């Protein structure tokens, strides 16, 4: 089944080029930050939204790093966070005494990252940093401060470049605003 994305996307918020330029800038800053760090860094990608961001970002990192993944859920198929975060797939790596860099697609209420940071702290991580491609600061419920942010965006539901609505539209190469009629029907 082919989809005409014009039927579901009201506008392109961030195009492919802008995403790539921004990721290079972020990578430069992250490289500088870890420059003098003797120990390697564990990149923790939060499934599934961060996959494209993580793979593009990792290519520009010059630090010694390993990759692992975690899947947490708080949404189901709705567009609002439930605030009740659960681990769906845990890390394979023991993070005790490791430098962890959490890679997120978007921070919305902050519930997911608040839970993740707390969990990794309890497991004894040496340091925990957060990089997010997108941030919707207006919707914050928990005080979570990303260390590196790609774009601050308004309170609109976006899809593409890894982000989904009910598992769809992750494969779009840009970030687009989802038409309200798609999720309000």
Q: What residues line the site for ligand IMP (CB under 6 A)?
A: 46, 49, 74-75, 81, 104-112, 157-159, 163
Decide which of Mg ion, ligand IMP, none touches 93; Cβ closer than 5 to 8 Å per partner kind: none
CB nearer to Mg ion: give 49 or 110. 49
CB nearer to ligand IMP: give 5 or 75. 75
Residues in contact with Mg ion, shown as a per-residue x/- string from 30 to 49 under the rule CB under 5 A: -------------------x
Give the integer Cα–Cα distance in Å for 185 and 41: 44
CB nearer to ligand IMP: give 94 or 141. 141
> Do the beta carbons of residue 115 and residue 72 sit within 8 Å?
yes
Give the dihedral sign, CA 7/9/12/15: negative
Q: Kindly report the CA angle at 47 between 41 and 48, in degrees rounded to 5?
A: 135
> Do the beta carbons of residue 134 and residue 106 sit within 8 Å?
yes
Decide which of Mg ion, ligand IMP, none touches 162; Cβ closer than 5 to 8 Å per partner kind: none
Decide which of Mg ion, ligand IMP, none touches 157; Cβ closer than 5 to 8 Å per partner kind: ligand IMP
CB nearer to ligand IMP: give 34 or 172. 172
Active site residue 108: yes
> Do the beta carbons of residue 74 and residue 85 sit within 8 Å?
yes
Catalytic residue among 108, 118, 143, 155: 108
Decide which of Mg ion, ligand IMP, none touches 107; Cβ closer than 5 to 8 Å per partner kind: ligand IMP
End-to-end CA distance of the chain: 21
The total of other beta-carbon atoms located within 10 Å of residue 89's CB is 12
Nearest to 90 by CA among 108, 115, 65: 115
Supply the residues annotated as catalytic. 108
Q: Which residues bind Mg ion (CB under 5 A)?
A: 49
């Amino acid at each position: 089944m082919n989809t005409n994305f014009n039927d579901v996307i009201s506008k392109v918020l961030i195009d492919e080029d802008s995403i790539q330029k921004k990721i290079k800038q972020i990578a430069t800053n992250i490289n500088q930050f870890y420059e003098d760090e003797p120990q390697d860094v564990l990149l923790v990608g939060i499934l599934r939204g961060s996959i494209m961001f993580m793979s593009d970002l990792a290519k520009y990192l010059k630090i010694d790093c390993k990759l692992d993944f975690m899947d947490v859920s708080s949404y189901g198929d709705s567009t609002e966070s439930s605030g009740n975060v659960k681990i769906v797939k845990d890390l394979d790596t023991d993070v005790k005494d490791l430098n962890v860099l959490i890679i997120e697609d978007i921070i919305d209420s902050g519930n997911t990252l608040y839970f993740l940071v707390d969990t990794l702290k309890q497991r004894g991580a040496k340091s925990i940093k957060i990089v997010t491609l997108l941030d919707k600061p207006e919707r914050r419920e928990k005080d979570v401060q990303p260390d590196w942010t790609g774009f601050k965006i308004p309170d609109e539901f976006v899809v593409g470049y890894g982000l989904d609505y009910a598992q769809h539209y992750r494969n779009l190469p840009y970030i687009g605003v989802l038409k309200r009629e798609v999720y309000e029907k």
